[in-house]
Amino acid sequence: MNKIYWNENIETMELDLIKNLQSEKLSYLIKYVKENSPYYKDILKSISEIRTVDDITILPFTDPHHLIDNPFRFKSCKNVCRIHCSGGTVTSPKILFFTSEDLNTICDLAARKFYMMGVRSSDRVALMQPFDIYLVGFGHMEAYKQIGAEVIPLGVRLEQYFAVNLMKKLQATIIDSSPSIIARLTNAIIKSGLKPAEDFSVKKIILAGEKIRESLREFIERTWEAEVFNDYGLTEMGIVAAECEKHTGLHIAVDHYIVEVVDPLSGGRVQEEEIGELVLTPLNLRGTPLLRYRTGDLVKIKKTTCSCGRTHPLIEMIGRKDETLMIDGINLYPYQFDRALEKFAPEVLNYQIIRENIGEVDRLRIMCEVAQNIDKDKIKSKIFYALKHVSIDFLEILEKSSIERCV
C-alpha cells in the first residue's frame, strides 16, 4: 500500500500538542545556547527562563548582519562536520556550521517535504541546484536518497545542451531547480525545436530558491504538462516549508520551527493573515543555533486548512523586503504589481517592470506582452486604472513573445 505521509504522527499532530512540543524544544534550546554559543551567552545574560513558546517575544531578534559579522561567535559545537555559505546575493555570504546530526535532521525534513509532493522511489530526479559551498544541492540529493529515488546531479554549471540531452536520454521524471533556471531552460528547449511535453518524461517540477510568479508557474505547467511545486528554505537552516499535492499553500514544519510574522519596520507582530516579515527559530540545529532569525522574506500565514490532512499551517510567499521600490516617496513591493497585473490573464501573457534612474529621479517602466487580437488601447487603460496608486512613467503594450520568460 502506498503510504500518504512520511511521518504521519508529526504531520497530522493537533496544533496544541505541537505547541507543547515547541515549548519543550525551545526551553532546551535556550539552555543549550546559554552554555555553548559565545554570541547568545552575552545576549541572553539578563533573560530569565523561557517556559513556553508564548515567551519567545522577550528574546531579541537575530539579524543576518549579526551572523555575517560574527560567524564564529555563533558556532556552538565542536563536532562540526560541514561548513556551508549562503549565496551572498545582497550582502556578504553567511557562514554556517553543521554537525552530522544537523545534516540528518535537515535531510529527513526535506525527504518529508518531497514525499509530500508525491516523489517516490520509482522517480528519477534531474537535480539542477547549486552544490559547491551551498547546502541546497547536497541537502536535496540526500533527501531523494532517503526516499529511494534516483538522482542525476546536474548542478547549475554544466553546459546547457549537455544537461538537456542527459535529462532527455535518462528520462528524468522530476526536475528540481529554481524558477529562473527552469525559465531559461524552457526557453532554450523551445528555441531548439524540442517540445518539453512530448520529448521529455517530466511529470513534476520542484522549484526552490526564489519566489515563483503565478504567470510563470502557469507557463511552465502548460509547456511541460507537468505539475509544479514550490518549496522554501534557507542555507541557515535548510528546507522550511513546501507545497503538498493539494497546492493550497506551503506547509511550514512547525515541529522544527517557531514561526512569527512581524512588521518589517517596527518588529511587532502583524494581524492574522496580514503580510509581514518571516521570523524563524529553528529548534533542532546545534552547529549554528539561531533565535528569532529575521529572514527578510515577506509572507502571509493563511487561515485555511488543507484537505490533505496535514495540520501544519500554510504560508504564502510574497517577496523580499529588500526588493522595495521607492517611487515618488512611496515604498512599493514587486508583489503589489504581480497581484494587479496577474488579474489580466490570459489577455496579459507576461510583463516586466523596470526602474530607471533619469536625472537623479526614479522612473517606472512597465512592459506588458499581450495575446493576439487584444485591443491594446483598451488593455492599456485597464492597466493604468489597476495601478492608479502608482506613478507609471512608461507603459508599453507588446506582441506575444516579445519578453523572454524570467522569474
Confidence of residue 69 (pLDDT cuts 50, 70, 90): very high
- Cell numbers linked to 164: 538537456
Distance CA 376, CA 400 (A): 12
Q: Tell me the one-letter amino acid at 212.
A: I
What are the counts of helices (DSSP H) followed by strands (DSSP E) for the chain?
A: 13, 18
Helices 179-191 and 160-169, packing angle to 10 deg: 80
Q: How many residues does the chain have?
A: 407
**pTM over cut 0.85:** no
Q: Is the pLDDT of residue 105 over 70?
A: yes
| Among candidate residues 185, 187, 218, the one with its CA nearest the CA of residue 404 | 187
Residues of CATH 3.30.300.30 domain(s) within the chain? 324-398
Q: Is the pLDDT of residue 203 over 80?
A: yes
Query: Spelled out in words, what is the top-level CATH class assigned to the domain 324-398?
Result: alpha beta
Structural contact between residues 30 and 49, judged by C-beta atoms closer than 8 angstroms: yes
pLDDT average, residue stretch 158-180 = 93
Query: Residue 149: what are its φ and ψ, rounded to 5°?
Result: -75, 155
Q: Is the pLDDT of residue 212 over 90?
A: no
Place of cell 512540543: 21
Instruction: Please tell me the predicted confidence (pLDDT) of residue 327.
Output: 62
Beta strand 257-262 with 227-234 is unpaired
Strand partners, 241: 232, 252
Beta strand 314-320 with 250-252 is antiparallel
pLDDT tens readout for residues 262-318: 999 899 999 988 999 999 999 999 999 999 999 999 999 998 899 999 999 999 998
Domain 1-321: give its CATH code. 3.40.50.12780
| Among candidate residues 133, 115, 135, the one with its CA nearest the CA of residue 125 | 115
Residues of CATH 3.40.50.12780 domain(s) within the chain? 1-321
Structural contact between residues 284 and 267, judged by C-beta atoms closer than 8 angstroms: no
How many CB atoms sit inside 10 A of residue 202's CB? 21
How many CB atoms sit inside 10 A of residue 293's CB? 23
Give just the sign of the alpha carbon dihedral 12, 18, 24, 30.
Answer: positive
- Cell numbers linked to 84: 556551508
Give just the sign of the alpha carbon dihedral 231, 56, 320, 382.
Answer: positive
Mean pLDDT, rounded, of the chain: 89
| Among candidate residues 369, 351, 357, 288, the one with its CA nearest the CA of residue 74 | 288
